[in-house]
Amino acid sequence: MVVQVSNPSGDRNDKIANAAKVLGRSKHRKAVFKAIYKGKQKVKKVSDIVNITDLDRKRVLTEAKRLAGEDIIHQLSSKVNGETAYEKLDFYTHNRDTIIRLAADKNKLDNLPTKANPKIKYIQVKIPIKKYSSGFRRSTSIRQVTIDDLDSFSKAKKKSLSRHSPWSLTEKQFKEGIKNILGDRGRFTDWGGETDDLFTTRITMNGKRYPAAFAFKGRGTSGILTPRKMGKNADQIQRLFKSPAQIFIIQYHGQINESVLDQMHSLATAKSAQESRTIYFGIVDGIDSRRILAAYKNLFAVQ
């Protein structure tokens, strides 16, 4: 069985793609862009750019006006030594080489994922399905759950937060708090190839114990959580579902993109088909994380 899992790219690509398109095939515009972003000098006068590019003053002003109009450079409001001058912007300083490379390669630019032109990267996950004498067994059973479905976090049901409070816990602190809630005394050491951050057989749902695997994303991750931010190779969710668990949970201190749930849904379906049992999966986002903390604060290493 082959399951296709989406892995969307980040939003910063939109600005990179726009800059590459603005440069396009114009040798003069590329020359002005390179000159402004060359070296450590933050501000360059028109005469500086003329000296670097060998372009005439009128051409430099024309191309710089276009770059400034697209917010790729900043034109200073006051002149420097009587000349028009332009300032670098940090984003384009950091992404200069990528922009120049994409401007020279239309195929790579067209394949860059952006909001206006999303490109979905698919990862093939091959999972063997047990074969029976009557053929392949295709039935699957999956269910998405929340902390309100889990008996182990029953106190959190009484907590509701109208707004987010600042998040100060480290990933280790939150994991240790979850272990304390579940009464799990096992030791779990993080390393790059682990399938999960916490595996436990002490989580309960509807009065029954289940093996569960957690993946935690700490303060080192910022913004909306997407599959691309999960693991060095964006494969943390796939590795999570290799765990011998029946419940799979991803926790993050902020907003979790729906693409994370989409990927979990696909992998849960495949695992259910492989193991012929119900697979449960869900997320604990910033609001639910704070509800758990508010309900069990004495079990977390916080003041």
**pLDDT tens digits for range 7-42:** 444 468 889 999 999 999 899 999 999 999 999 999
Report d(CA 79, CA 2) in Å as an integer: 62
pLDDT at site 2? 47
Give the mean pLDDT of 154-179.
Answer: 84
- pLDDT tier for residue 127 given thresholds of 50, 70 and 90: low
What single string gives the DSSP state of each residue in 143-185? Answer: EE--GGG-GGGGGGGG---SSPPPP---HHHHHHHHHHHHT--
Minimal CA–CA distance to 75: which of 170, 121, 157, 66? 66
- Give this prediction's pTM: 0.57
Q: Which CATH class is domain 13-110?
A: mainly alpha
Numbered ranges of CATH 1.10.10.10 in the chain = 13-110
